[in-house]
Amino acid sequence: MNDYLKWILPVGLVCLGFIAGLIFEKFILNKLKRFATKTRLPGNEILFLSLRGIPKIWFVIAGFYAAVISLQVSQVIDNILADILQKILTAIFLFTVTIALARLTASFVNIFTQRTEGVSASLLSNLARIVVFVFGILTILQTLGFSITPILATLGIGGLAVALAFQDTLSNLFSGLYLIISKQVRTGDYVKLETGQEGYVTDITWRNTVIQELPHNVIIVPNSKLASAIFTNYHLPAKEIIVLVEVGVSYDSDLDQVEWVTFDVAQEVMQKVSGSAFGFEPFIRYHTFSEYSIRFTVFLRANEFLDQRVVKHEFIKRLHRRYQEEGIVIPFPTRTVYYAEQPFSN
């Protein structure tokens, strides 16, 4: 009977820790959340999301720790077993702290990537989690009495074998980091690959780059392939893009009048059409005496790659209507065939 009585206090301490954890999460932590929301403390949402479910575990660990101490005092378990149990509880506590720190670090990285244009969130946040977990595991091993120096040496040797085995994976990982650091490709950029596919970069993960085409199809490109590929980034060095429109007028046209009318229409498009770069001064340049027309190029500017379609659409419509009003002829290909008369022979 006395043996059973010795277990009452340890069990009660574990139950007390569990109940205290529930009370802390349900009442105290919720009040702290409301208070932080009202006072608009910076980073409060990230902090509470990182601690989700963790404090309750800490209280339970504290209850078990107190129970082990009480069992040791009452001599139910010896000092060696108590020391082992305390180390296990400490390791569990450190692992939960590592989880909370990994969440917190990843959240801060996500905030940084959201505020920094074109930086991929998934790759950097996952790397931050991995770094925190590696340091956390090494700390736990050191706490349990393992010497981490031989472990690091073993990891160094084993890392070489892993690097050889996962050469493609590591190549994609470092290529993704290179793309982000060099800022050759950023999330949100519109790119066109040498193979012809084009679209918006939506994410750069640890293995591949995700490109979404205009029909909402998704192109998956390994980072190593993209890093060594020839591609066009229509958002670098700036999003604004020059729009070239080829036009031809008949040889009977007054070129000064054509230039003035075309410039007037182009300026109207730059000022009124959504997607055009407001403030840009359009201009035209004659360049070719073709077979049936005098050809020139109109230079407009759009805010980004896709906006050029709207700018071209509106410009061609308005220019065609204005040419009709002004009597300017846009010729189409014609061919005149002359037959030489030859005398008939008997």
Each residue's pLDDT tens digit in the chain (346 positions)? 455 556 777 778 788 888 888 888 777 777 777 766 666 655 567 777 777 888 888 888 888 888 888 877 766 677 778 788 888 888 888 888 888 888 888 877 777 766 666 556 666 777 788 888 888 888 888 777 777 666 666 666 555 555 555 567 777 777 887 887 777 888 888 998 888 888 998 888 878 888 998 888 899 988 888 888 888 888 888 888 899 999 999 998 999 999 999 999 999 999 989 888 888 899 999 999 988 899 999 999 999 888 889 999 999 999 999 999 999 998 877 666 666 666 655 5
d(CA 303, CA 53): 47
What is the value of pTM for the model shown? Answer: 0.55
Assign domain 241-326 one CATH number from 3.30.70.100, 3.30.499.10, 3.40.50.300, 3.40.1280.10.
3.30.70.100
Sequence-separated contacts (24+) of 204-207 with Cβ below 8 Å:
204/120, 204/122, 204/123, 204/176, 204/179, 204/180, 205/120, 205/122, 205/123, 205/176, 206/122, 206/123, 206/126, 206/127, 206/172, 206/173, 206/176, 207/169, 207/172, 207/173, 207/176
Task: Answer whether 176-233 and 241-326 agree in fold.
Answer: no
Total Cβ atoms within 10 A of residue 273: 18
The strand order across the sheet containing 294-302 reads 241-249, 294-302, 283-289
CB-based contacts of 210: which residues, under 8 Å, 6+ apart?
201, 202, 203, 204, 218, 219, 220
Say which CATH architecture domain 176-233 belongs to.
Roll (2.30)
Total Cβ atoms within 10 A of residue 22: 14
Cβ–Cβ < 8 Å for 330, 323: yes
Strand 208-212 versus strand 198-204 pairing type: antiparallel
Q: What are the two backbone dihedrals, phi and then psi, of residue 202, each rounded to the nearest 5 degrees?
A: -100, -25
Tell me which H or E stretch contains 294.
strand 294-302
Question: Hey, where are the domains in the chain?
Answer: 2-154, 176-233, 241-326
Which amino acid appears at position 253 of this protein? S
Adjacent-strand bridge partners of 193: 231
